[in-house]
């Protein structure tokens, strides 16, 4: 069970409707991925708004070459661990590959992530009509949904690699259409990954729901990074849009605190992290 450090800020829990209120007030939303109770407790203690148990854990925790082998059991396990470190930070968990292929599968997987894992919201990738049908079915049954567009890692084989999306006018138009479609289906939050900053900014201004960018410029309503990337401990190459927040600082907690401050002040991402 999480015990707040004596110097931890007392704050109200971050809620799903509260995210939309943050957008309305122009407050940036700070999000990091999180896979266990110790990291979760550090995030909680610096006032992180959202912790995301991403299926990126397949790559950064399990050492696999993609997110595809991550199972629902893996996700439930790590979500439960992260939940034990949190109090006011909102917890979101990814639905893994093929666990939302139809509404019934998505409902039973979401039940596990929320009831066993303690997630307050589930995330799924894509904006095609069948995904919107799944989103609508979840939302109708009181499961809050975060959508994810742009570079959707579960589609890595179809996309041909981890590449920026939405670079042609046709691809950008498709992403704009998907952003509106997931919103109309009932998504309450939208991750925009690896797309031109101007496109992400335009989608952010057009939608009533908050957008959370990763490699999508500075104009999203919030930012997310893979926590191991922003601590500089991901083996191999760190994405250009990420930043090592541990460099020059004495602890993981200080790195998380600096990230929250920089996101809230609009200092992250800076010009060095934004692809042109």
The residues carrying an active-site annotation are 193
8-state DSSP, 271: G
**Closest separation in Å from C-beta 94 to ligand KIV:** 5
Q: 32, 214, 257, 263: which one contacts ligand KIV (CB under 6 A)?
A: 214
> Which C-beta is closer to ligand KIV: that of 33 or that of 89?
33
Cα separation, 247 vs 48, in Å, equals: 20
Least separation in angstroms between residue 224's CB and ligand KIV is 5
**Where in 132-191 is the site for ligand KIV (CB under 6 A)?**
148, 191
Q: Is 166 exposed, middle or buried (0-12, 13-18, 19+ CB in 10 A)?
A: buried
Question: In the stretch 50-79, what mask flags binding to ligand KIV with x, by CB under 6 A?
Answer: ----xxx-----------------------
Angstrom distance (rounded) from CA 134 to CA 147: 11
Report the residue number, 8 or 77, with the smaller CB distance to ligand KIV.
77
Instruction: Considering the complex, state which of residue 104 and residue 233 has its C-beta at the smaller distance from ligand KIV.
Output: 233
Judged by CB under 6 A, how many residues of this single chain contact ligand KIV? Answer: 11
User: Is 223 an interacting residue with respect to ligand KIV (CB under 6 A)?
Assistant: no
Residue by residue, DSSP assigns 93-141 as EEPPTTTTSSHHHHHHHHHIIIIIT--SEEEEE--SHHHHHHHHHHHHT
Is residue 194 within the footprint of ligand KIV (CB under 6 A)?
no
Span of 21-29, 48-56, 109-117, 230-238 interacting with ligand KIV by CB under 6 A: 48-56
33 near ligand KIV, judged by CB under 6 A = yes
* Cβ-contact 238, 244 below 8 angstroms: yes
272 three-state secondary structure: helix
- Whether 150 and 192 have beta carbons less than 8 Å apart is answered as yes
Closest CB to ligand KIV among 50 and 185?
50
Shortest distance in whole angstroms from residue 181 CB to ligand KIV = 19
Exposed (0-12), middle (13-18) or buried (19+): which is 144, by Cβ within 10 Å? buried
| 179-214-246 Cα angle (round to 5) | 160
Between 8 and 155, CB nearer to ligand KIV: 155
Taken in order 150, 13, 4, 74, the sign of the CA dihedral is negative
Residue 242 CA, chain-centre distance (Å), reads 14
Asked if 224 interacts with ligand KIV (CB under 6 A), we say: yes
For residue 142, the minimal CB distance to ligand KIV (Å) is: 23
Per rule CB under 6 A, is residue 226 in the interface with ligand KIV?
yes
Binding site for ligand KIV (CB under 6 A): 33, 54-56, 94, 148, 191, 193, 214, 224, 226
């Amino acid at each position: 069970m999480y015990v707040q450090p004596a110097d931890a800020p007392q704050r109200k829990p971050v809620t799903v409707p509260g995210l939309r209120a943050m957008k309305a007030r122009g407050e940036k939303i700070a999000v990091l991925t999180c896979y266990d109770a110790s990291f979760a407790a550090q995030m909680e203690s610096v006032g992180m708004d959202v912790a995301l148990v991403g299926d990126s854990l397949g790559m950064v925790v399990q050492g696999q070459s993609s997110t595809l082998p991550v199972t629902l059991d893996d996700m439930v396990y790590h979500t439960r661990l992260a939940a034990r470190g949190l109090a006011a930070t909102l917890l979101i968990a990814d639905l893994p590959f093929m666990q939302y292929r139809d509404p019934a599968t998505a409902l039973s997987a979401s039940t596990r992530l929320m009831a066993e894992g303690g997630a307050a919201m589930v995330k799924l990738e894509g904006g095609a009509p069948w995904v919107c049908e799944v989103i609508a079915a979840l939302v109708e049954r009181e499961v809050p949904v975060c959508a994810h567009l742009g570079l959707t890692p579960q589609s890595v084989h179809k996309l041909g690699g981890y590449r920026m999306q939405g670079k042609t006018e046709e691809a950008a138009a498709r992403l704009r259409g998907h952003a509106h479609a997931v919103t109309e289906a009932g998504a309450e939050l939208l991750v925009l990954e690896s797309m031109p900053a101007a496109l992400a900014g335009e989608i952010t201004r057009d939608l009533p729901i908050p957008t959370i960018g990763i490699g999508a410029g500075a104009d999203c309503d919030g930012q997310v990074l893979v926590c191991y990337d922003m601590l500089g401990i991901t083996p191999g190459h760190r994405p250009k849009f990420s930043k090592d927040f541990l460099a020059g600082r004495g602890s993981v907690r200080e790195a998380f605190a600096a990230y929250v401050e920089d996101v809230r002040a609009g200092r992250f991402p800076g010009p060095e992290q934004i692809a042109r």
